[in-house]
Structure 1
Amino acid sequence: MTAGGADARSAHLPVLYAQVIEGLRVIPDGVYLDGTFGRGGHARGVLERLGPDGRLLLMDKDPEAIAVAERDFGGDARVSIRRGSFAELAQWDATDAGLDGVLLDLGVSSPQLDVAERGFSFGKDGPLDMRMDPAAGESAAQWLARADEREIADVLWTYGEERLSRRIARTLVARRAEQPITRTAQLADIIASAVPRGASKIHPATRSFQAIRIHINRELADLEVGLDAAYARIKVGGRLVVVSFHSLEDRIVKRFIAGHAKAPPGNRRMPVPQPFIPTLREIDGAQRADEAELAANPRARSAVLRIAERLAGDGVEVSP
């Protein structure tokens, strides 16, 4: 997630920029993949550290992000660009020889939030879309028009941890029978009408909007597949760097790293203890933005950075 607005040349840096670049540990002739290009803040940092023989692979679902990548990086011979989810990174031939680092900066980007027409934000009225790739799958409006009350409630609870999910779902189904729900402000007002007013400063639609966005874009499913794909492509000594903005995302990343870095708890039912050979090493645990960054960019408050280094042990080719 970027800290700035829609201007790709903004002086603002992405969240946890310095920690991410340090975590990737860029070598001049290395091959790196940024699976969530956004507006290129991290990509610029990587390119500054790459030599003439280095390579940077850029991916993003969002066609607007890809347009920025083509405009700003398309003329650099070290850069290759592909539109698509990072879940598909292992299907890209450019990754076949292995990667020295993979970066995943999860969640919705600031430009997506700031453009009303994308439908991500309840703070800006616009069409209720929420798709990171507007050409793929159904929009939030289309899903809300067809999903039954139980499915809506399950999504709000599972992905938004919304304790009033059933009440909100019931209200949405009742209101859509009167009028189609097609605008972000309309959805936010309906949710607010179902939630008692309290002392919280958080808008009552925050969790629901987050949950619907995660569901529409299959964000958690893509993350699980993408982590496996990155693991399969990262060379020994290479780094996996992931920035999460949601506890469910971070939980998946944390468990993934631990599953390859730490031996599982012993099982007395097993007749012979199974040997465990770690293939990842966690670097520095969970990292968060400091007070200076939070003051400049409040959106960094929920960001969690995790870094892991690929180890030998399962037949992975060792970098020279």
Structure 2
Amino acid sequence: MSDHDAPQSTPAGSPPSALRASLDASHRRRRRGLLAGLGVVVAAALVGGGFWAGTAVGGADAEAATGAGGERISVKIAGSGESDLQDAVKTVAAEEGLDVTWVNFDDWTLPNSALVAGEVDANAFQHTAFLSAYNVANDTDLTPVFSTTITQWGVFSATLDSLDDIGEGARIAIPDDASNGARALFILQAAGLIELGPDVGVYPTVDDVTENDLGLEFVPIGATTIPTQFDDPSLDAVVVGTSYFDPSQEIDADDALYLDDSLSEESRPYVNAVVTRADDADDEAWDLLADAYADPRVAAALEEESFGNTVLVDVSADDLRSTLGELETAARELNS
């Protein structure tokens, strides 16, 4: 589709957001990693007269690093669906002495409840805003240990070619959970379709819409199921993450009527993270896992899988926890 609105780039001369700067740094690290790997291969060829499998970039035959006790570490991590990213993380982590078992759930409430119950050691599926809403609603203290990715979101339609085609009384699907539903409303506001009240905080609901000139109807649907209902003739548009669509649908950012700027400061609550119980936040396994996520092969797997719609970002644990605390405070005030 044409005539879609792209996210605004950082104005010339203005400093980039922290997320954008972290992405630039990640790209530089990835290039250095790829060059370093190539250097190892070339050196091997010069010394041994040829190449050998599994040793070019810390391959499976390389000596594995281990935990402080000299033994391999095993962790179970809950996710929301099998992916090339998970496969890459598992492969790279194994080279570092960390054996990762992924346990995937279709329902987004289950990875957190499984973590609280001790069925898994961590999860990797949610952004900070979603985690804050869960912690407050369930009186839990799950905490992020390092950042992973952020996904660009947008407005999509199976029948319309531009925002201008959205007519009176159009039905727009938005996620039915508090954090993603709020994100969808902010996106619709940024797209110029609605206005929210001035003091809505970070968790606005449809009740906070103060201007809705088109009389749009908001249809709450589970975020993971929105893509499967994309072609529903009763819906005029949907608001969802660009990477949520199945590859067979052949829908990407170019098909969006409007895209958010996922690397702006306003998007910080939507940084995904590996999350564990507060008592386990300092476990040495997370350093090994963070190193695996930083490997160039993981970035390559993510880029191929998401068509560049989801990117790895590097936000410190302190910043993640600070943002989490602010969001939890806002969520408690909302519920009080």
After TM superposition, is the score higher than 0.5?
no
| Structure with more of its chain in strand, by fraction | 2
TM-score (norm: length of structure 1): 0.31
Relative contact order, higher structure (CA 8 A, sep 6+)? 2
